[in-house]
Structure 1
Amino acid sequence: MSKSIQVIGPFITNYSLARTNRGLAKALSKVQDLYKTYLYGSVDQLDKYPDDSDLNKFPYIKSLWSKDELETDIAIYSNFPKEGIVNIGYSQIKAKTKTAFVAWEESIYPKIWVDEINQNLHGVFTISSFVKDILKKNGIKVPIFSTLIGIDDAMLVNPTAVFPLQTKKKFKFLHISSARKRKGVDVLLKAYFSQFSKDDDVCLVIKSFPGPDNMVPELLSELQNENSPEVEHITSPDLTDLDMVNLIHACDCSVYPSRAEGFGLPIAESMYHGKPVIATNYSGYLDFANESNAYLIDYKLVNTTDSEMVNLGAKWAEPDATHLAKTMKYLFENIESEEVTQKVNLAKEVANELTWQNTAKKILPIISDLEKISHLKTQNAGVISFLNDDDGVGEYTADLYSNVEDSFNNFFYISNKDIDARKKIDASNVIRTWESGETSFQETLKFIQEYKLQHIHIQYHSGVNFAPESLDYLLMELARLEVNSYVTLHAVKGKGFNIGLECKNLHLAKSVFIHNKEDFDSVPTDNKVLLYHPRKLVPYRSKSHVQNKLELDSYNPIIITHGKLVLQKIDLESVLESIKILKKDYPNILLIAMNAVVASNSSAKSDFDKLQEVVREFNLEENVLFVPDFLSEEEIFILLQVSDIALFPYKDVGESASAAVSKSLATLTPTITTDIKMFSEFTNEVLKIKDTNPTNISLAIDSLTKDLSLKNDLIKNSREFIEEYSFAMQAVRTLSYF
């Protein structure tokens, strides 16, 4: 008997949520046959109840629409309440596994909805990484996954006619939106009027919709005079999807100086149809728009005004009108240039991937994982770990379980009393019951019994928190209490220890999680699970904005190296020689050598002096910036994000995975590595070179600088790699063994 999925919410009108819901349901029904797919909405949930004419317009909906609410295996709720910020109704969903598909724009998500999600849902899908980050920062503690949305099938067609515009001007900018304050139409009109006049062969075409929040009539009344450039304002609500395709093709450039977008579908549609795009360098569409395929406008974050929701304290972007005006002028004058053509071609490649079928294919395996953990919503659990100190295991624990705290009925962090170098204040669910070197766990076991915890996950680091014998004792006591136990081994073997052999009771755990294949193979227990270390995607920063702040905007390209300064391991001498070669074609090239020098290591200090001498010998004083200090993680991320290429010219010295490359991928900085064992886990996320020969390094940098398609592929593959092994994804995979 097949399982069932129900997409709940509006689905029959041109309302953005309705388009989303029918696109998602249609795709889910097409790409798999494990789940029978339904569309449902009560009279209260729908913006319009379907009639025969609606069903004739969308005939495929007839087979998807359920007039009655069913109790399904999966529910995907995609709707907003009609009354404003009140309960959405997640508690009323009839399904074994309950999820939501969420769109949002502002920096603050209402607490009433945060609480409702945490209490009732098993997982959340978002239309962009931007929305995912907002939900996470606002306290949602069930798994969140960014799956993007698709361009409507009806828009994936060729134009059939010339759209009947009134203007006779040759060059036409296009803006499609509701023309509310959030859409930035005020910034657009002011920038356009400041840069052009009636004598310019240009027209701004605005397609908006009738409504009280439409700012265009008032703005035109305020701005227009006898010398104003031409504006054609289309407000008809009756244009078909094909009309919109024809309109996009009738114009030369699309402009979207939005203050915030959950996704930015008109931007994706313009890219798909081969039109250059100008957009604010902020919010949801940065999942597919970047400096290689669009013209991104500077901004500053400000408090929201006249937003669609009364959401005190929320922020959005204020686009730089001067930068916008200059960019519009540049596109007006250079629309036929090779640069514009290249950006358009790269944008179309990305937009071709934005289909509902691809979204459905992302959602389906996540749904399968969420089904495996839905039973935990009524159960109690805890994790034994360091927490809120400067220990890496504590940071790992917080990063992992912050995604799934509310996947349980009650969840606790059971940590040590003798905390050292506290970094954060404990939350109410942090309980301190043991000390480093603990042997009895008397207080810990009492707490587990008192609060009826059914699952205990132990984060264990090679005797740092307590001895292997103590771990054995704890596992034995948990088994005696019939509590399911799980162990993550953060260091399996090293000089003087081998936890896999020293711990005799690992077999008592339900699962033993291990982060790499070599350690996995060395542990002699049948309950082991290979679960790769999770990855983080660093919050986006505008490269051009940060370059300007750091006074690095005159350099191009910017190359960065990272890792402790050990010349036997990192061939920085060859890198300097490659910079010397590249300087002939790139006189403003900059190498940021972010390679920390250990003060107590005389060899490292000698190597540093040697490199400085090479810089002088090659006359690279203006092209090399050494950063010999140990930086904070945030500082490292900023310097990686300001760079065009991250370079790891490592020699094969027998070491395993490099954390430095993981940091580079987390910032989506295009990355070059040598083809050695250390980087064997990376495939198409990086560009690999045979060795550290200066010619090979310089050729790789030159290729990646010139080939924007290759650069875009690396960025796309890096994002997919990070998402596949994200903390949210690995947290759900961990819980699937509970």
Structure 2
Amino acid sequence: MFEGFEGDVITSGGGLCGESLRAVIAHDLIPLRNPEKYLDAPEVRGWYYDKLAAFCDCDLFLTNSDSTRLEIIEDAKIDPGRAISVMAGGDEFAVRATELKESGTDLDTRLGITKPFFVYAASFEQRKNFEGLIAAFGRFASQMGGQHQLVLVTSNEPAVLAMISSLASEAGLGDSDVIVTGQISDTDLTQLYRRCVAMVYPSLHEGFGLPILEAMHLDAAVIGSNVTSIPEIIGLDEAQFDPTSTEEIATKMLRIVRDDQFRQRLKENAVQRRALFTWDRSAIATWRALEDALASGDFLNRPRLNRAARYQALIKALKALAKAQGHPTADELRQIANVVAFNQNAIDALPVLTFHNEKRVWRIEGPFDSNYSLSLVNRETARALKAQGEEVFLHSSEGPGDYPPNESFLALNHPDILTLWRDRAEIDMRDRPVIASRNLYPPRVDNGGGTVNILHSYAWEESRFPSEWVDQFNLHLDGIGSVSSHVSKLLQDSGVAVPLSVVGNGVDHWERVKAAKLESLPGKSFRFLHVSSCFPRKGADVLLAAYGQAFRRSDDVTLIIKTFKNPHNDIEARLAAARTQDPEFPDVALIFEDLPDPELKALYQHCHVLVAPSRAEGYGLPIAEATLSGLPVIVTAWGGQADFCNEQTAWLVDYSFAPAQTHLELSSSVWAEPDRDHLALCMREAHAASATERTGKAAAGRDVLLKGHTWNAVVNRLSAAVDRWAKPREPLQGRVGWVTTWNCKCGIATYSEYLIRWLPQKPIIFGATNDDVITPDDEDVVRAWQKYMSGASLEGLAQAVEKSGVDTLVIQFNNSFFDFMELEKFVLAQKQSGRTVLMVMHSTWGNPDDETKIFSLLTKTLKACDRVLVHSYHDLNRLKAIGVVGNTTLLPHGIIDGPPSDFKARRSNSTFTIGSYGFCLPHKGLHALVAAYGLLARKDTSLHLHLVNAEYPVDVSHELARRLRAEIAQLGVGARARFTGDFLPDDQALGYLRACDLIVFPYENTGESASGAVRFGIASGRPVATTSLPIFDDVKPAVFQVTDGAPEILAAGLRDIISKLRTGGSVVEEKVRAADKWRQDHSYEALAARLTGLIEALRLERSFASAGHIVQEDTADGERV
């Protein structure tokens, strides 16, 4: 409960706590006992009684003293059995006493102390009894001849000083007899307590009285009131007085100065009493009270509100708040959000199975009544759990909602599952923990009703996961058991920050299937087999092309493709086209009929090699089935199958990363494009291999699967994961350090600034010492390294990082920033220190002309990072070329918020302005743009040109700007063409671009991975055109493109685009829609949320690892992933 009258604070003990035990610490009920003083105003009275109602609604009342306990029993009518005094502690004062330095000889001078003095420290209010103390000190001083002073550590506001002066005058005291300090430092207060004759504490009402303990820890003699909680601290009867009697107070003060033995007893009493009040004792008492309350109440069996319910309750409460005057700033909102998030994380870190030792129940939710792969997974998961003695029941559901299962199908094919489903009503669910474990599609997770809500054997294929599902997973799930390390990584990379564990997928159900005896199956003497839906990600198109490259019609070989009809399956058309183009195309047999498992197993055994050149797999169940059936396999060397496929068990096909082409159309999502030539080579090798060699690969694969990929092993890992997730853990916390150029004219500095704006907590910025700063740095900026300096040590950066205490480092990499060898030493040292390291690559070319900047020199550095973040799939491929694959992630460059896209058509005779934007550098193609404009402007006098290209602080940029101005002047078009070379604020630059009709980025070849400038152009909402270079591949949906930057070709391309924009039509309308969607997907807000999720996911992984838990399993070849 919050105390005080300042600030718009709402306190609540009920609405946001769900059914949890609600314990509250009470410090006092002073306003309730003195309503005429504290609750006179109606709005204050209403506020306080609302707080009191929330207070009384709690279950357990912990108090800081016996006095406060009696107050809440008497005044708030609290059941005495629910009110427990745990006392407060004061041992922090002992630490302060040893740490604080002497305040210096000037303390007396500053405060006006000239005589021995008594001290009293308190806020200036009526109950603190300053009136009684000053009157008592007047009596004391009259008998001691003015030999002492009274030091009051309280407010020195004018009204307070006037009141104290008046009281002193009434007591016969002079101005120098009573000293008012105002706010002073802990060091000064320490010296006052140490040097005082005594500390006098005449308060009329206290909840506890911490200043008394503070003085005792500094060896002061202490006397105080004999009312409320004060006697509980002081203890010694002769050290107490009636605070309403000025005579008693004065008598005690006189005794202290006249009786040395009495003063010594007070000091000895302070030593004895202070030892009784420690936070350890208070914590033990609190813990016992909580345990007793839990043992005696029904709280243990109350379900805990899940994250979604907590957030909904919080949002509802926030909406109900009265509108405050003014509005919080962005920083204030961020601070509040961080506090809320921290508290939510603390709740999430609590064990979810806080029940008595009642046996838990598993509720397996999803389809289980068909041949659908998810139905198989759910059936086998339930069977395996049941076989291990777990209590299990099934709940029939799919993405759209619940449905009655197909009992006829179950009765015919899986009668044990039908029985398990029907027996659900017999399970006693009362007061028992329920593990609600789902596997369904789409992954609906917002209504889980379990004690713990998880997904089991979850699969995904392409590298990106839908952001709306990420949000749902983070909000509603307590954990995810994935089918492969591939799936766990892509979920983390997409921002899923819930506990993850690779549980795998069982395959031994295939062992129960007995192959049918079929009369005839197609194929020549040697038979390749492909089993899939022939969706694009299955790679059937590449398979046909590679097969046609590897063999001829005359070869004694057949490719059998077992598939089924579906809208995405064009295998027949592709095969017909291949045969038309190549009359010698080798033999292919298509099977579309549905084959029962025994017949499918017979087909496996009929063939010699399975070929699965998938572009993406979550697990690859047909690959495992084939292996168990005795077939060696040819698979793509990327995807979930990598957990059981390696060089010993399969032929691995090389690949390159490419944009994923799926029905979800997720931007910046990739998959693996199999190398057709290498696939053809693998097929020839498999064909040429001996039967013994092929059997050996299959046997090795079978051994891997039956050792670690049985359903029993899967549920063992799933159960162990749930046990781990249910244990208490430290709340995730830490701070990010961000190594970057900063607050200077640099694209990477700008990128960092935009991204950091949307992070929930501002990181510590480790900027370059030689950045040419634009404005003074904030306090969170530490300048600790030098850019552009060959051989420059990063030791200073390492020391700054160590001092900062950050747990995660995000390093912005550009070729010219760091010495490669120094960067390697730095990163390896950070990993050795236990930090998470993410490297953001703004360039992946290196510099082949500089032997110290060859890109492959970074291999060891990048492999050591937890993640290497890149901006395009080309970057992924360049990293793969130097052996960096398993820890790479595509995080696209961001785009700032801007006005909606507006490609409004222009009349042919209207002024049409061509613009450009970015730094004035040679590779930007600005010479070609000026020349192309010159060609266009000769025939179209309505065309204008505005180059908004800031000069970079290097000589080459200044020289280029000079030449561009000269070339523009030579065009002879006057004011129709102009050049702006100033570094402009964003608002001004956007204003210039908004005035353009087409913004052109005619770049030449560059090693940069992505362009921040083109994103700024897109953010303006105006049409953008680029050259068709790899640096612009990721923005292609949002822009027009020209094939080349040569002036003639560029002019022709721009002429066509200008014509389209002037006439409008469907092409322009479609580009507007595509640009808006692209902008939404690439907003810095969205990217910051994803990066935050990844950092939190890595923290979570590290927290489980540090607790001795295995988060992910070994791959087939033993490599830790």
Alignment TM-score, normalising by the size of structure 2: 0.36
Task: Give the greater-gyration-radius structure (CA).
Answer: 2
Aligned match of 1:633 in 861, 873, 878? 861
Residues 358 and 466 (structure 1), Cα distance of their counterparts in 2 relative to 1, 3 Å cut: same
Structure 1 equivalent of residue 441 of structure 2: 80
Aligned residue pairs total: 455
- Rounded Cα–Cα distance in structure 1 between residues aligned with 2:511 and 2:606: 16
Aligned match of 1:279 in 627, 635, 646? 635
- Aligned pairs for 1:296-375 within 5 A: 296-305=652-661, 307-336=662-691, 338=693, 340-352=694-706, 353-373=708-728
Question: Could you tell me whether the CA contact under 8 Å between 1:27 and 1:360 is conserved in 2?
Answer: yes
Give the SS at the match of 2:421: coil
Question: Could you tell me whether the CA contact under 8 Å between 1:383 and 1:412 is conserved in 2?
Answer: no
Q: Which amino acid in structure 2 is aligned with residue 29 of structure 1?
A: K
- Aligned pairs for 1:416-565 within 5 A: none
Question: Could you tell me whether the CA contact under 8 Å between 1:384 and 1:415 is conserved in 2?
Answer: no
Is residue 2:533 matched to residue 1:172? Answer: no
Residues 326 and 259 (structure 1), Cα distance of their counterparts in 2 relative to 1, 3 Å cut: same
Q: Which amino acid in structure 1 is aligned with residue 705 of structure 2?
A: A
Displacement of 1:91: 1.9
What's the CA shift string for 1:53-92, capped at 9, x where partnerless? Answer: 42341122134326789896211121113xxxxxx43221
- Rounded Cα–Cα distance in structure 1 between residues aligned with 2:586 and 2:380: 39
Displacement of 1:174: 0.6
> Whose helix proportion is higher, 1 or 2?
2
Aligned match of 1:253 in 598, 609, 614? 609
Q: Which runs of 5+ in 1 are unaligned?
A: 82-87, 391-410, 423-431, 437-460, 472-486, 489-531, 539-548, 550-626, 645-662, 668-725
Question: Could you tell me whether the CA contact under 8 Å between 2:767 and 2:781 is conserved in 1?
Answer: no
- Rounded Cα–Cα distance in structure 2 between residues aligned with 1:635 and 1:736: 23
Q: Which amino acid in structure 1 is aligned with residue 733 of structure 2?
A: V
Is residue 2:726 matched to residue 1:383? Answer: no
Residues 220 and 165 (structure 1), Cα distance of their counterparts in 2 relative to 1, 3 Å cut: farther
Question: Could you tell me whether the CA contact under 8 Å between 1:271 and 1:347 is conserved in 2?
Answer: yes
Structure 2 equivalent of residue 37 of structure 1: 392
Residues 629 and 465 (structure 1), Cα distance of their counterparts in 2 relative to 1, 3 Å cut: closer
Structure 2 equivalent of residue 189 of structure 1: 544
Question: Could you tell me whether the CA contact under 8 Å between 2:732 and 2:1099 is conserved in 1?
Answer: no
Question: Could you tell me whether the CA contact under 8 Å between 2:657 and 2:673 is conserved in 1?
Answer: yes
Aligned match of 1:198 in 553, 568, 583? 553
Structure 1 equivalent of residue 377 of structure 2: 20
- Rounded Cα–Cα distance in structure 2 between residues aligned with 1:163 and 1:323: 34
- Rounded Cα–Cα distance in structure 2 between residues aligned with 1:263 and 1:318: 17
- Aligned pairs for 1:28-177 within 5 A: 28-31=385-388, 33=389, 35-42=390-397, 44-45=400-401, 49-65=405-421, 73-81=434-442, 88-101=443-456, 102-151=458-507, 153=509, 155-157=510-512, 159-167=514-522, 169-177=524-532
Give the SS at the match of 1:213: coil
Residues 736 and 204 (structure 1), Cα distance of their counterparts in 2 relative to 1, 3 Å cut: closer
Give the SS at the match of 2:392: strand
Question: Could you tell me whether the CA contact under 8 Å between 2:484 and 2:618 is conserved in 1?
Answer: yes
Q: Which amino acid in structure 1 is aligned with residue 704 of structure 2?
A: V
Displacement of 1:735: 8.7
Structure 2 equivalent of residue 262 of structure 1: 618
- Rounded Cα–Cα distance in structure 1 between residues aligned with 2:359 and 2:540: 48
Question: Could you tell me whether the CA contact under 8 Å between 1:104 and 1:262 is conserved in 2?
Answer: yes
- Aligned pairs for 1:205-244 within 5 A: 205-224=560-579, 227-237=584-594, 239-244=595-600
- Rounded Cα–Cα distance in structure 1 between residues aligned with 2:438 and 2:470: 15
Give the SS at the match of 2:361: strand
Give the SS at the match of 1:224: helix
Displacement of 1:734: 6.8
Question: Could you tell me whether the CA contact under 8 Å between 1:145 and 1:728 is conserved in 2?
Answer: no
Aligned match of 2:366 in 9, 21, 43? 9
Question: Could you tell me whether the CA contact under 8 Å between 1:536 and 1:727 is conserved in 2?
Answer: no
Structure 1 equivalent of residue 915 of structure 2: none
What's the CA shift string for 1:395-453, capped at 9, x where partnerless? Answer: xxxxxxxxxxxxxxxx986976x85779xxxxxxxxx99999xxxxxxxxxxxxxxxxx
Give the SS at the match of 1:365: helix
Give the SS at the match of 2:507: coil
Question: Larger deviation: 13-22 or 67-76?
Answer: 67-76
Displacement of 1:294: 0.7
Give the SS at the match of 1:118: helix
- Rounded Cα–Cα distance in structure 1 between residues aligned with 2:857 and 2:534: 49
Residues 328 and 163 (structure 1), Cα distance of their counterparts in 2 relative to 1, 3 Å cut: farther
Residues 47 and 326 (structure 1), Cα distance of their counterparts in 2 relative to 1, 3 Å cut: farther
Aligned Cα root-mean-square deviation (Å)? 4.9
- Rounded Cα–Cα distance in structure 2 between residues aligned with 1:317 and 1:207: 22
Q: Which amino acid in structure 2 is aligned with residue 345 of structure 1?
A: A
Residues 325 and 54 (structure 1), Cα distance of their counterparts in 2 relative to 1, 3 Å cut: same
Residues 421 and 147 (structure 1), Cα distance of their counterparts in 2 relative to 1, 3 Å cut: farther
- Rounded Cα–Cα distance in structure 2 between residues aligned with 1:108 and 1:10: 25
Displacement of 1:326: 2.1
Displacement of 1:642: 10
- Rounded Cα–Cα distance in structure 2 between residues aligned with 1:168 and 1:736: 53
Give the SS at the match of 1:242: helix
Structure 2 equivalent of residue 680 of structure 1: none
- Rounded Cα–Cα distance in structure 2 between residues aligned with 1:206 and 1:194: 17
- Rounded Cα–Cα distance in structure 2 between residues aligned with 1:464 and 1:185: 50
- Aligned pairs for 1:694-705 within 5 A: none
Between the aligned residues of both structures, percent identity stands at 29
Give the SS at the match of 2:437: strand
Displacement of 1:465: 6.5
Question: Could you tell me whether the CA contact under 8 Å between 1:163 and 1:250 is conserved in 2?
Answer: no
Displacement of 1:633: 2.4
Displacement of 1:10: 0.8
Question: Could you tell me whether the CA contact under 8 Å between 2:445 and 2:477 is conserved in 1?
Answer: yes
Displacement of 1:16: 1.2
Displacement of 1:643: 12
- Rounded Cα–Cα distance in structure 2 between residues aligned with 1:41 and 1:355: 24
- Rounded Cα–Cα distance in structure 1 between residues aligned with 2:521 and 2:630: 23
Displacement of 1:299: 1.3
Structure 2 equivalent of residue 516 of structure 1: none
- Rounded Cα–Cα distance in structure 2 between residues aligned with 1:6 and 1:215: 40
- Rounded Cα–Cα distance in structure 2 between residues aligned with 1:105 and 1:635: 23
Residues 296 and 415 (structure 1), Cα distance of their counterparts in 2 relative to 1, 3 Å cut: closer
Displacement of 1:152: 5.2
Displacement of 1:284: 0.8
Q: Which amino acid in structure 1 is aligned with residue 639 of structure 2?
A: S
Question: Could you tell me whether the CA contact under 8 Å between 1:177 and 1:183 is conserved in 2?
Answer: yes
- Rounded Cα–Cα distance in structure 2 between residues aligned with 1:114 and 1:180: 25
Residues 733 and 165 (structure 1), Cα distance of their counterparts in 2 relative to 1, 3 Å cut: same
- Rounded Cα–Cα distance in structure 2 between residues aligned with 1:197 and 1:464: 62
Question: Could you tell me whether the CA contact under 8 Å between 1:166 and 1:232 is conserved in 2?
Answer: no
- Rounded Cα–Cα distance in structure 1 between residues aligned with 2:441 and 2:418: 24
What's the CA shift string for 1:470-497, capped at 9, x where partnerless? Answer: x9xxxxxxxxxxxxxxx99xxxxxxxxx
Question: Larger deviation: 329-338 or 45-54?
Answer: 45-54
Alignment TM-score, normalising by the size of structure 1: 0.53
